[in-house]
Structure 1
Amino acid sequence: MAVGVLPGQVNGWPPKVDLDSDTESASPRIYTPPSPLEAVNKPPSRLVDALTNLGLGATNWVAAGVSVLTAILPSTDGYVSRADFLRLRLQDCPFPTSKIQECVDPLKKYTACRLPLASVISEDTLANLIEQAAGVIQWADLEASVSILDLQRYLVGLTQELRDRLNDAPWLTSHPISRKRVALIRGRPNLTAGGPVYRAARALGLDLVIVDDEGHWLQPDTDDNRMHREAFLATDMTEDSGVVDRIIASITRYPLPIHGVFTLSDNFFVTVARVAEALHLPCNPASAFEISVDKHRSRLLQDAPGQTARVSSVDELNALLSSTSKSSPTPFTPTYPLIVKPTKGWSSECVSKVSSPTDLALAVQKATTRHGSAAVIEPFFDGPEIDANFVLLDGEVLFWEIADEPPCQADAKSASVDDTFSPEALTLPSALPADEQETVRETLRGLLVKAGFRTGVFHVEARVVNSASGYRDVAGQDGVVVDLVPRDAQSLPEEKAACKLIEINARPPGYRVSVPSRHTYGVDYFAVHMLAAVGDLDRLRMAAQPFDHVREGRTRGAQYWSRLVYVPAPKEGVVRWSSGLSPCEELKRRRPDLRERIVVAVDYCVPGDRVGLYTDGARTYVAHLLLCSRVSRRDAIEVGDEVLRAFQVDIEEE
């Protein structure tokens, strides 16, 4: 890449500085500028024309300052894997950008620049670079008073940041990429949830077809909808024995070839796998999904005799606990506390922690009424809860990461059967010791392969028992926060740490939980998921490359520490926006100190919506926000806590 510096019309600043980032000892070479009068009266140059053609011309430069631009020049020919690669990799860059202009189209061939950067000694040769660039970045302008030394330091720091973001993430492949079409079974419920999927498909050059019920919001053939999908195939999605055949019929009637199918809806995993098998499309076996969607069967992947049971009713529970059941070779022997949850379910719905026999029947009743499924009774594993995300290619781990989930209501020793496991926050990267993280990696990868999964994205929930770390109150800058920290020597467990599976979600994490990973590591799970669906394994491997940042205390590849916080509904009633702004926007306007730390903020409600404290047995949330810190993990947690304290949502009681 080449970095150019263009002046405002003051102080005789140099019109350009070139920096060769391929050289470890790279330093700016500053060229003699024209005088201010010459700069004002000089006719447009080829360099100015080249930038103007990209929408980066003189009208974008400050009159009294320094404009810095970077031309991205891949050193080899290749086919473009993803058109918005620069925008994805420059998310939350500490060097603010003014504009990013990407000059490539997905799947098209890019011919590398053959001009040696050392020969760039004039505006014409720099214009040559601009015209051959795969992308050009205009950074936020610097003050005209910046010194030459500070400018050099800025450019060297900028170059290192670009290395961390771009050098280890290939986005050109030597193999031509054929255009493919992928069908999403069950379109997302709204643009907020579906936007990351639709944008990734466009950037990858994938034609997206939606298969869903008549009346879905993406069905009308409007200009807006055509931006998100190529076609909509109205199909009866009733979950009965004929749904597989109906989906197959819709796909086979479509006049253009469909190269892959996928879903993000948990209750359609098995259905879509059967569709893929019938149409001979890439997919993990349906038998693997049958295990993952049944929490009893997935629990048996890592179980000891007598620990786990499955019941369909309270009567069946009573029969299981009766004396006649004790004659079984491996009788079920409940050890409290334990967990009761639906065998089919998601989002911690109707999951209960049971601390005494008197509450067991109540928990089973709650679980069996949800989704009409049976209930699984299993041990409660005491230890830090984690979300682990994996990208696998034929069983090989291409990328993986852990997010720490702090204790929730039901984790308290005094928790009742009415307390929930609804998450309250996530913190990335994990603070677990390195050896325990490796235990998590090997254990969960082994269970995924044991279930039959080989390729794709997997969101796995687990706990680490006998961990050398635990949650406790620790001092922060402005008070006490709860964080995962090493245990005192006298409280270290005697047994070795072990990873205990909670559940397997054979898909990317949900849209709000995928946000921290995409921003923290630069890996887009939705892109990986679609590439797996069409069998594009070359680009799948490329898409799984994280950033290359290295910082003590952070997992390699994490550009910062991040904290995702969920805002629960404070009471029941009707949502109002008394200020005229959404709660997230109102918070950012009222607290500019927090606005600078907020990466993403999403409101779930609009005026007139009715909210309760609980929805389907889980906490009701009104928003989520992602906060970041380049200072420390503790700082990220503190900012998250302050956001929760400062967040205001107006709910009018009915």
Structure 2
Amino acid sequence: MAVGVLPGQVSGWPPKFDLDSDTESTSPSLYTPPSPLHSVNGPSSFCRPFFWEIIPLCDLYSIAHIILLPSSLRLSYSPLPQRNGASSANRQRPHSEAQSRFIDALTNIGLGPCNWKTAGVSVFTAILPSTDGYVSRADFLRLRLQDSPFAISKIQECVDPLKKYTACRLSSASANSEDGLAALIEQAAGVIQWADLEASVSILDLQRYLLGLTHELRDRLNNAPWLTPHPIARKRVALIRGRPNLTAGGPVYRAAKALGLDLVIIDDEGHWLQADTDDNRMHREGFLATDMAEDSGTVDRIIASITRYPLPIHGVFTLSDNFFVTTARVAQALHLPTNPISAFETSVDKYRSRLLQDAPGQTARVSSVDELNTLLLSSHFTPTFPLIVKPTKGWSSECVSKVSSPSDLALAVAKATARHGSAAVIEPFFDGPEIDANFVLLDGEVLFFEVADEPPCQGDRRDASVDDTFSPEALTLPSALPAGEQAVVRETLRELLVQVGFCTGVFHVEARVVNTGCEYREVTEGVVDLVARMPRDPDVGGDNSKAACKLIEINARPPGYRVSVPSRHTYGVDFFAAHMLAAVGDVERLRLAARSFDHACEGRTRGAQYWSRLVYVPAPKEGVVKWNSGLSPCEALKRRRPDLKDKIVVAVDYCVPGERIALYTDGARTYVAHLLVCSRASRREAIEAGEEVLRAFSIDVEGDNEGRVV
């Protein structure tokens, strides 16, 4: 380890040590009672680095760890030679009279002495890209360091999006002074201030801590360029249909700002982002009020709004399923990047997308119960129960029914055709674990792929009725499916996407895996997980077919804002950023945005920093929400259960006091919150934590009955 020591430093720092030696119990402490040398001038805020190292982290980055002593060990005099002919008598002046370029450099980026504890060991890491380049994303470091196992006090990113960064050329030798370290801080692309260590930390523990930091940073930065070698043109992208609120739209708006994309919102008059306020200008550049009624003139009205905008728009995108085709038509008419209109037309029609894997007589489409009765009298459809009935146009598992007997078929069709005024598709029920498969594609090449497991929901039960829903209850990452089966999922679904016509963008695909070697089973009391299937009795026989992937639906967009959360946190991939970059045709940055972490751990998919469990909290009953404690339900949970707080990565409440909620919304379960929990120990621990969070969550709802713990 390269060690730097400043002249005039406390004698013996840093001491020599050997990581392989068994000296932990007798390792010296960083804190010793103040000696006359330490207290000659009394306590002082003037601080000298006593230890640093510059490490080539990987091909892309070097890092510099810098450690500052506790205030009781910080020298109150300047040990550096004075410049410009200053006399040596000035070298012992208190900080109030002396100046430190190094401390000024930290202060200038918001990490100065006011952020340090008086009795702690302060640790800073400067991130130094190895080559010159243009900044692909301003908050790149925050994204890559989210949920670090090492506590962080503050991250300061010192670069702006699209701007050129010139690599730091300093060596360990040239940094061997306060001026040199100041120059290093000033040239860093970002600086991390880690949570202060106790002054009593041993030298050996400090060494191990720094090694841990280095390994963790390598896993997070190793394959992820912050810079692109080519200048990045500033572009403008239009979001067709702004999000309904800041909770749902925040990840989109923040990503656009970090990428240096100017965001324009196209939506109806009266949308919450329309008003030209300071708050709204933080989220978007402009707002184009447009009649968004879904009729034959929608495309023309949107094109007219874009044409009237005084600045060029380089791409359009949407996150609203019912505007996919409209957005593609707008893009094609304006010669902007898009996938074929026909691809979107197939993806939004669940009957057409089901036919991609259909066998004769398995799938049908009807517009009414009368049409169903006519179909059943023909020889073209031979239903095999159980079946799935759902609207051909719909989302969020709305009005999706499992039908186990002919007597319930008409009821399911009536429910499906009543939603969105669309026909109903009748298709086989595939018995196997349901998964979410997320892709980032570029010209058909898979840049990123992940599988998430959806545990069984109401509709998966063998005795499920038409009234039971397929609303998701949780999501677990990474998948427990064997690597071979995940490869089958990847290839099957990628081929279907390309077959439909999708080549570039972000795609959220729902599917089931049949003939899998896994099954959901109770592994501990109250905990169900996807595990290896119990060995079959050879005398009984069984299906020895190979595992296969059966498509449920294609969503030509990122997962919804809450389902994108576990991917962003587990893998470090921001689907909303990738979606917008694809929309403006920024191929180079699209590749960069699709780089996952580089963590490798037995039992986890490479790139996942931990196991995570997304928990959806359903409404316990109908009524009016109250915050009787004065805190939101998620905040109240963390205060009430500090043992769970450290496992909760994200917690989002959906309801506010006085809001009326129902058990079901548009035929799907109503949720009041979602929480993401994680474990670096095991998948089972993540699932157990999620179940405990669900049991402990409480929301006050005034209705016919008393509110209860969900």
Q: TM exceeds 0.5?
A: yes
Identical-residue share of aligned pairs (%):
79
Superposed, 1:171-250 pairs within 5 Å as: 171-250=226-305
Relative distance call for 1:425 and 1:2 in structure 2 (3 A) is farther
Q: Does 1:519 align with 2:569?
A: yes
The amino acid that maps onto 1:533 is: A
* Residues 538 and 23 of structure 1: CA distance in aligned 2, closer, same or farther (over 3 Å): closer
Matching residue within 438, 442, 459 for 1:393? 442
Q: Once the 2 structures are TM-superposed, how far is the Cα of residue 480 of structure 1 from its aligned partner?
A: 3.4
Residue 15 (structure 1) shift: 2.6
- Aligned to 1:219, what secondary structure does the other structure show? coil
In structure 2, relative to structure 1, the CA distance for the partners of 1:495 and 1:49 (3 Å cut) is same
CA 1:149–1:474: 2 relative to 1, 3 Å: same
Contact between 2:63 and 2:128, CA under 8 Å: does it hold in 1? no
Of 650, 671, 676, which residue of structure 2 is paired with 1:626?
676
For 2:637 and 2:554, the matched residues in 1 are separated by 36
Specify which of 168, 182, 186 is matched with residue 127 of structure 1: 182
Question: Residue 17 of structure 2 aligns with which residue?
Answer: none
Aligned in 2, Cα 1:16/1:273: closer, same or farther, shift over 3 Å? farther
Aligned with 2:504 (options 455, 470, 473): 455
CA distance, structure 2, for counterparts of residue 37 and residue 455 of structure 1: 56
- Residues 15 and 33 in structure 1, CA contact (< 8 A), matched pair in contact too: no
CA distance in 2, matches of 1:33, 1:274: 63
Q: Does 1:488 align with 2:530?
A: no
Q: Is the 8 A contact 2:4 2:51 kept in 1?
A: yes
Instruction: Measure, in 1, the Cα distance between the counterparts of 2:589 and 2:213.
Output: 28
Give me the whole-angstrom Cα distance separating, in 1, the residues matched to 2:68 and 2:657: 58
Q: Deviations over 1:596-619 (max 9, x none)?
A: 111111111111111111111111
Q: Distance in 1 between matches of 2:144 and 2:152?
A: 12
**Amino acid aligned to 1:75:** S
- Gap change, CA 1:231 and 1:338, over 3 Å in 2: same
Supply the RMSD in Å over aligned alpha carbons.
2.2
Aligned match of 1:500 in 547, 550, 563?
550
TM-score (norm 1): 0.95
Secondary structure in structure 1 of the residue aligned to 2:75: helix
Q: Deviations over 1:534-572 (max 9, x none)?
A: 000000000000000000000000000000000011111
TM-score with structure 2 setting the length: 0.88
Task: Quote how far apart the aligned CAs of 1:58 are.
Answer: 1.2
Matched-pair contact (CA < 8 Å) for 2:67–2:124: no
Whole-angstrom distance in 2 between the partners of 1:36 and 1:20: 23
The 3-state SS of whatever aligns with 2:420 is coil
User: Does residue 94 of structure 2 align to residue 39 of structure 1?
Assistant: no
Query: C-alpha distance in 1, partners of 2:68/2:451?
Result: 48
Structure 1 counterpart SS, 2:301: helix
What corresponds to 2:87 in structure 1? Answer: none
In structure 2, what is the equivalent of residue 268 of structure 1?
323
Question: 1:89 pairs with 144, 167, 174, which one?
Answer: 144
Which one of 18, 25, 33 corresponds to residue 52 of structure 2? 18
Aligned to 1:165: 220
Ranges in structure 1 where 5+ consecutive residues have no aligned partner: none
| SS of residue in 1 equivalent to 2:220 | helix
Deviation at 1:8, TM superposition (A): 9.0
AA of the residue aligned to 2:55: S
Deviations along 1:98-131, one digit per CA (max 9) or x if unpaired, are 0111100000000001112354322221111001
Give 1:26 deviation, angstroms.
Answer: 10
Structure 2: how far apart are the matches of 1:31 and 1:530? 42
Letter in 2 for 1:120: A
The structure-2 alpha-carbon separation of the partners of 1:51 and 1:340, relative to structure 1 and needing over 3 Å to count, comes to: same
Counterpart among 140, 149, 153 of residue 195 in structure 2: 140
Q: Is the Cα contact below 8 Å between 2:387 and 2:427 reproduced in 1? A: yes
Task: Note the 1:36-115 alignment, pairs <5 A.
Answer: 36=73, 38-39=75-76, 41-42=94-95, 43-115=98-170
- Tell me if the contact between 1:186 and 1:212 (Cα under 8 Å) persists in the aligned partners: yes
- Matched residue type, 1:235: T
Change (3 A) 1:28 1:298: closer
2: CA distance between counterparts of 1:387 and 1:507?
13
Deviations 1:629-654 (A, max 9, x none): 01100000000000010000011115
SS of 2:516's equivalent in the other structure is: coil
1:546 corresponds to which of 578, 587, 596: 596
**In 2, distance between residues paired with 1:353 and 1:37?**
70
Q: Is the 8 A contact 1:308 1:378 kept in 2?
A: yes
Does structure 1 conserve the Cα–Cα contact (< 8 Å) formed by 2:65 and 2:125?
no
User: Taking structure 1 as reference, are residues 285 and 29 closer, same or farther at Cα in structure 2, changes over 3 Å only?
Assistant: closer
Supply the distance in 1 between the matched residues of 2:66 and 2:137 (Cα, whole angstroms).
Answer: 32
**Distance change >3 Å, CA 97–CA 3, structure 1 → 2:** farther
User: How has the CA–CA distance of structure 1 residues 321 and 71 changed in structure 2, closer, same or farther, with 3 Å as cutoff?
Assistant: same
How many angstroms does 1:402 deviate by? 0.5
Residue-by-residue CA offset, 1:19-68 (whole Å, 9 max, x unaligned): 33316899989999999473373433111111011111111111111000
Q: What 5-or-longer segments of structure 2 have no aligned partner? A: 7-29, 39-46, 78-93, 705-710
Alignment match of 1:571 (pick from 621, 627, 640): 621
Contact 1:5 1:14 in 2 (8 A): no
Aligned AA for 1:182? V
Cα distance change of structure 1 residues 10 and 204 upon mapping to structure 2, 3 Å threshold: farther
Question: CA 1:162/1:150 → structure 2, altered by over 3 Å: closer, same or farther?
Answer: same
